[in-house]
Structure 1
Amino acid sequence: MKQAKILTQKQLNLFFKQLEIYPNAKRNRLIIAFTFFGGLRIGEVAKLHWKDVVDINYCVKDEMILLAENTKSKESQKVFINKKLRNEIIEYKRYYSNKYSKIDLGTPLLITQKRTQFSANSLCQLINSIYKRCGLSNVTSHSGRRSFITALANKSINAKVIMNLARHRNLSTTQRYIEVNDQQLKNAVELI
């Protein structure tokens, strides 16, 4: 089985522009943002509620806690919300408020056209179909998470820090996510 392809920030920006022509662009953009900017698994994204990302004053939180029943490890996990993800949440909150007028903190953050919560499988299928529609081959719902981890590694972030941000138990798991290409290798040897 082929590994999911990673996207550079430039490719992601082009993809975000392409998304604008399709229905539910703001919602779909936020789904992608959670994987690329937060390193979330698609199943974790599907289970998010408003209360996970905004406080009682509807301000975006600095970090969110994923409940044990919503994570792969079945343990509660902390995810930091960086500036890029924060901006995406703010934009989506503005869009959602205009469309539905009221945000109920207990409701799912991302909803289907029938206003129900996505399952992990249905969200995975949606995102994979969007990537295909935009002409991105080998890009899957897991590409964002792989891109998140690779981008951190390319910025020379300590491997243990990356492991913790990826919420992996073993460093070897994190290392399998990091993609290496010829340009990176050329840049590395120039450092000598």
Structure 2
Amino acid sequence: MAQAKTFTTAELDRVLRSVSTKKYAQRDRALILTGFWSGMRVGEIAALKMSDVVNEDVSIKNEIRLSGAQTKGRHPRTAFIPAKLQAELQSNLTTRFARLPRLPFFHSANRLGFSANSLCQWFFWVDRAAGISGASSHIGMRILAS
């Protein structure tokens, strides 16, 4: 089975520039960088709730503890959140009006959460719009593994 393409820094910059003009630019940037800098799978990102990411004092957690229900293989794991990603997630949080613990951290255009499938398609179309071919929603995992 072929592995996902590994992005170059220039390609990542191109994707980030592409989403910077969109309606949900901050959310889109945070979604992309969450995949790149945390190594979470798309299904894990889609499953994130406010309580998984945000502390009671409204700061971003240093690590996200994913339950078995949120992961592939149903094995709980921890995703570590570097400071640069914490800053991006905090910036995304400022765009949210409702911050109830059970709400999805990343919302779709209709203010609902993404499904794993819809987020996978979202990544496909974002990469395509930026002119990146051969990309996959597993790109962040490949970067951390390399």
> Counterpart of 1:38?
38
Of 89, 103, 107, 1:107 maps to 103
After superposition, residues 71-150 of structure 1 pair within 5 angstroms as 71-96=71-96, 100=97, 102-150=98-146
> Counterpart of 2:26?
26
1:67 maps to 2:67: yes
Per-residue displacement from partner, 1:105-157 (whole Å, max 9, x unpaired)? 2210011111111110011001111100110000121112112222xxxxxxx
Write the letter of the residue equivalent to 1:41. R
Per-residue displacement from partner, 1:58-112 (whole Å, max 9, x unpaired)? 111111100111111212111111112111101101222xxx2x32122100111
Contact 1:49 1:108 (8 Å CA) reproduced: yes
User: Which structure 2 residue ranges, 5 or more long, are not aligned?
Assistant: none
- Is the alpha carbon distance of 1:2 and 1:133 closer, same or farther for their aligned partners in structure 2, counting shifts above 3 Å? farther
> Counterpart of 1:172?
none
User: Which structure 1 residue ranges, 5 or more long, are not aligned?
Assistant: 151-192
Structure 2 SS opposite 1:135: coil
Structure 2 SS opposite 1:31: helix
TM-score normalized with structure 2 length: 0.92
Query: Structure 1: how far apart are the matches of 2:109 and 2:15?
Result: 22
Structure 1 SS opposite 2:135: coil
Q: What's the offset of the Cα at 1:14?
A: 3.0
Q: RMSD across aligned C-alpha pairs, in angstroms?
A: 1.5
Aligned length: 146
- Is the alpha carbon distance of 1:10 and 1:134 closer, same or farther for their aligned partners in structure 2, counting shifts above 3 Å? closer
Contact 2:11 2:132 (8 Å CA) reproduced: no
Structure 2 SS opposite 1:78: strand
Identity rate of aligned residues, in percent?
Answer: 32
* Higher RCO structure (Cα 8 Å, ≥6 apart): 2
Q: What's the offset of the Cα at 1:2?
A: 4.5
Q: Which has the higher helix share?
A: 1
TM-score normalized with structure 1 length: 0.71
Contact 1:37 1:82 (8 Å CA) reproduced: yes
